[in-house]
A = this chain, B = another copy of it.
Amino acid sequence: MTILEFIQKRVNPDVRNEDELPFSITRSSIKKNDIITDYGEVENEAYYLVEGIVEVSINRSGDDEKIIDFFFANNFFCSYASFLTLQPSDVHIIALTDCVIDAIPREDLVNSYSNSLISNQLARYITEQIYLKRIKREKDLLTKPADERYLDVLKEEPDLLKHIPVNKVARYLGIHPESLSRIRKTIVS
């Protein structure tokens, strides 16, 4: 799905072609483990993941680095708090596999908010989804045991373990890799 198709499907079926979009889109290929947005950088693009998997981590004073998100193809991502506030990013985004990414310049998007229905529809929808995802993760961490959260992830992304090392999945679930191995054995048996 392209950005145009994403917009047609999710927010505005009447948009016909890319010329109607009030922002430029630049495609690039990046290699596994490349940094997309680094700690301390100000986010000046919104990204759409055409192919691949992206990992978002956070490193808070005194804590180990935590994986807070994975993004899969056909989703938007970026260091959104930094994008909105122009403050340095406190998250770190890397390519977990080779990726193809479409980038929209922050300036294009933000400038078009004053008069573009499409830009506002798209940004409203994405922000709603980011907000809901965050609330859900927070709630799940507080209320669901690790095995249930693991099953949820598998249900949403059945191919997850083909592409993401077990130790990273464990760090995302906030548990020890050995606990995850136990959970996986229990589920298989």
A17, CB-defined interface residue at 8 Å = no
Cβ of A75 under 8 Å from chain B: no
Give the 5 A-B CB pairs with smallest separation, nearest first: A120-B120, A124-B124, A127-B127, A117-B117, A123-B124
A189 within 8 A of B: no
Q: Check if A143 is an interface residue, CB within 8 A of chain B.
A: yes
A182 contacts B by Cβ under 8 Å:
no
Residues of A114-134 at the interface with B, using a CB-CB cut-off of 8 Å, are: 114-117, 120-121, 123-124, 127-128, 130-132, 134
> With an 8 A cutoff between CB atoms, is A135 at the interface?
yes
Judge whether A142 is part of the interface by a CB distance below 8 angstroms.
Answer: yes
| Alpha-carbon distance between A113 and B10 when the two chains are bound, in angstroms | 12
A60 at the interface (CB under 8 A from B): yes
Judged by DSSP, the binding face of A is: helix
Query: How many A residues, CB 8 Å from partner?
Result: 30
B61 lies within 8 A of A132 (CB): no
Q: Does A85 contact B (CB under 8 A)?
A: yes
Interface CB pairs A-B, < 8 A, 25 = A11-B113, A60-B139, A60-B143, A81-B131, A81-B132, A84-B128, A84-B132, A85-B132, A90-B139, A116-B117, A117-B120, A120-B120, A120-B121, A120-B124, A123-B128, A124-B124, A124-B127, A127-B128, A127-B131, A130-B131, A131-B131, A131-B134, A134-B134, A134-B135, A138-B138
Those of A23-45 within 8 Å (CB) of chain B: none
Interface flags, A79-119, vs B, CB<8A=1, else 0: 01100110000100000000000000000000001111100
Q: For the complex, is A12 an interface residue (Cβ under 8 Å from B)?
A: yes
Known: A113-B124, A120-B117, A134-B134. A142 touches B60 (CB 8 A): yes
